[in-house]
Structure 1
Amino acid sequence: MNTDKSTEALAFGIRRRVFEHSIRNNGGYLSQACSAAEQLAWLYNEQLRLGAPTLPPVPLPFAGVPAPGNHAYRTGAGYHGPAEPSLDRLFIAPAHYALVAYAALIEVGRLAPEALDQFNQDGSSVEMIGAEHSPGMEVHNGTLGIGLSTGAGLAWGRRRKGETGAVWVFMSDGEVQEGQTWEAVQSCVHHGIDNLYAIMDVNAQQCDGAMSAVMDVGDLKAKFVSFGAVAVEIDGHDLAAMRVAAQTPHPGRPLIILARTCPYQGMPSLKSRFPRLHYVRFKSEDERESMRRAIAAELGLNAEPASSQPGRQETSPATTAAKGD
């Protein structure tokens, strides 16, 4: 779905929305917006072939889990359009990027801005840690290394059915700390699955700090190649590099784009939080105001205070669902 906005403008809009939401609610996944904005803007605005959304712009309340007789149950995949054979499919593997993904859906017109008013509210489908019923989500991957496997399974099934649409997985680098990611690559190579593409936000951060300190993962490109994938390493803020990387030939193998990024791109004030950048919460009103003014200036926004909800603070994110950024 191509909008009338440039992809660069969409990436800026994603960062702006996440920043404003985080300031209003005294916490948010700011570093993920910094690192992943270009990747998600590029996917939605240029790369993916998606149909028109089949779900309402303002999400319906959570309808409950799948169960006999629960005819209201739905996944959030409808915001990517219908699952037609010729259209692409996208899995957002790191569920803690949900706020950034919602911002991307809003920027490309697939979700209403009012949807963020439901974020992390009881009874809402706009979950803080995205679930299968959340906008843009189809399955619940956590950040537990199962996203690439999910994509591989669907890609294999689509190929057997003769479907021409590609399967894309947006990943975070923390997922390579899980063995299932590597099993998925081996399975793809064994079965010749080449309709699977992944772009990984390699921002070298995870919930406990810098990945190099928690569990260093070494040379990712060399590892993916050794497991049989075709891997391309790029600057994850360079849209031209993404366009070229996506055209890399990979017959019989999955294509993995390793997008190296900065977790404070566009918001350099966040560097003062390094290496604890996974989830940014402000410890006082003074700190929130200071950070608001600094980042607003860095983004080129009006420095006047936005409407805020000082009494509200987001629930602390579940670390078990957020291994890596």
Structure 2
Amino acid sequence: MGSNELEEKIYKIAAGIRRRVLEHTIKNNGGYLSQACSSAEIFSALYLSILNIERLKKPIAPGKFKGVPSNDNPNSTTGAEFNGKKSKVYDRFILSPAQYALVQYAALIEVGRMTENGLDDFNKDGSSVEMIGAEHSPGMEVTTGSLGQGISQAAGIAMARKLKKETGRVVLFLSDGECQSGQFWEAVQAMAFHKLDNMIAYVDVNGYQCDGKMTTVMNLEPFDKRLEAFGARVFRVDGHNVAALVALSTLKPDGRPTFILCDTDPARGIDVIKDRYPKFHYVRFTNEQEKEKYKQQYEALIKA
């Protein structure tokens, strides 16, 4: 597949992710919709180009929740199977902001890794397809807990892979809101100190968190300069520019963890969500008139 053809496919899958998450949000009277708007190209590029993972023979149907991992529960499973088998040469993908789980599921369906009906048991008792993803949820292999903890777990996995001389990377997806936490900065400092250059992190910098604009809650800017001061290698790109996202994934290691700051739009492709400014974090319809606006937006996307 040529580069132009691949880019077109990535954009097409990104559009599918947005449509699917919007459809799900309408059917369920709520959902993490702005996250799909801002990160669709990132997830699409991850699964179609960036991640070096096993190609599955067919989509996987999500199973039931089999309990948390413990010595007394040998039947517990993780959602890592949706990313293929583990190997010392394959990448490991860690989704840090678990509220992006719906976007992750939509991406897995769109790229053919999860069955088309994989969202049927979304957020139901006994299901692994949780609204806030955990280690057993499709595409996830660890529970990232409160915001800011995913990067620490990813760093631990990356260090273990270094010690075992595995060649596969740890690819991490982050949201900018969780980067406000102190644990995030402790992790970056440790990653730089231990020269974890087998780590690459894509950060969805959409400029908003649950309480509103990042710059008014706790400003991280200049985000790139701060990361560099902690010893990271940093690039800043348009997070909807597929060519830029893919190109940076092939950089050779240079002794530093790599961060790709992806500046994105939380209303990309779904303009109706702009009416919620500045609280984009979660869509919950308050009346039928409001829901109707989103239905009309969905119909427009279907026809596009």
**TM exceeds 0.5?**
yes
> Could you tell me how far 1:54 is from its partner in structure 2?
9.5
Select 1:81's aligned residue among 77, 80, 84: 84
Contact persistence 1:11–1:38 (CA under 8 A)? yes
Residue aligning to 2:303: 301
Mean CA deviation greater in 239-248 or 86-95: 239-248
- Any unmatched runs of 5+ in structure 2? none
Q: Are 1:150 and 2:164 counterparts? A: no
Residue aligning to 1:200: 203
**Percent identity over paired residues:** 49
Residue aligning to 2:280: 277
Measured against aligned partners, the alpha-carbon deviations of 1:140-161 in whole angstroms (never above 9, x if no partner) come to 1135111221111111111111
Contact persistence 1:55–1:79 (CA under 8 A)? no
> Could you tell me how far 1:53 is from its partner in structure 2?
4.8
Q: Are 1:125 and 2:125 counterparts? A: no
Please give the alpha-carbon distance, in whole angstroms, between the structure 2 residues aligned to 1:176 and 1:28.
22
Closer, same or farther: CA 153–68 of 1 in aligned 2, 3 Å: closer
- Which letter maps to 2:182? G
* RMSD across aligned positions (CA): 2.0
Q: TM-score, normalised by structure 2?
A: 0.94
Contact persistence 2:19–2:298 (CA under 8 A)? no
Please give the alpha-carbon distance, in whole angstroms, between the structure 2 residues aligned to 1:9 and 1:184.
35
Residue aligning to 1:19: 22
Please give the alpha-carbon distance, in whole angstroms, between the structure 2 residues aligned to 1:211 and 1:221.
15
> Could you tell me how far 1:68 is from its partner in structure 2?
3.5
Q: TM-score, normalised by structure 1?
A: 0.88
* SS of residue in 2 equivalent to 1:197: strand
Q: Are 1:220 and 2:228 counterparts? A: no
- Which letter maps to 2:44? A
Q: Are 1:254 and 2:254 counterparts? A: no
Residue aligning to 2:107: 104
Residue aligning to 1:138: 141
- Which letter maps to 1:296? E
- Which letter maps to 1:184? A
Structure 1 segments, 4+ long, off by >3 Å, are: 52-56, 247-250
Select 1:267's aligned residue among 249, 265, 270: 270
- Mapping for residues 156-171 of structure 1, pairs under 5 Å: 156-171=159-174
Please give the alpha-carbon distance, in whole angstroms, between the structure 1 residues aligned to 2:152 and 2:70.
25
Measured against aligned partners, the alpha-carbon deviations of 1:295-316 in whole angstroms (never above 9, x if no partner) come to 432x2438xxxxxxxxxxxxxx
* SS of residue in 2 equivalent to 1:198: strand
- Any unmatched runs of 5+ in structure 1? 303-325
Q: How many pairs were matched up? A: 300
